Amino acid sequence: MNLADAKSAIKFAKVLRRDAQGRIISIEVPGHEGKTYEVILRHEQGGLTTECLLSTGNGYLPCQGNGHALCYHSLSAILFAASEKQISVKVCQTKAATKIKNVYDEAWVFPIRSRQSGKEAYVVMEVSE
């Protein structure tokens, strides 16, 4: 899980599509070597899933990183969506790790999962009151 890369990609990310409620459906995220990726977010499987596609000159290829893990483009898309709503989040690799970081209720923890590899991470939402 490369959080540093995910965080640095946020400032160059841009929203491609939104649903009727204004939620982000797809977002363009820059990758290494000048590549760009489209990350599609879906509310399903009790959390959020990510599908990541490498944009090529003539179409899309599945992101290799998201094919065996949860790629940093996916993480970047999640962090972008949260920051847009001014929600502060932490990403944890395991559910057990969320217990340490999460001082709030279990309800504020939800899984994010690569739709391509099935690999998960967990997002802990911080509530500022």
Nearest to Zn ion of 30, 89 (CB atom): 30
Residues that bind Zn ion (CB under 5 A): 37, 52, 63, 65-66, 71, 73
CB of 62 to Zn ion, least distance (A): 9
Nearest to Zn ion of 2, 102 (CB atom): 2
CB of 92 to Zn ion, least distance (A): 19
Rounded CA gap, 76 and 78, in Å? 5
Residue 116 backbone zone (phi > 0: left; psi -120 to 50: alpha; other: beta): alpha
Nearest to Zn ion of 61, 127 (CB atom): 61
CB of 89 to Zn ion, least distance (A): 19
3-state secondary structure 58-115: CEEEECHHHHHCCCHHHHHHHHHHHHHCCCEEEEECCHHHHHHHCCCCHHHEEEEEEC
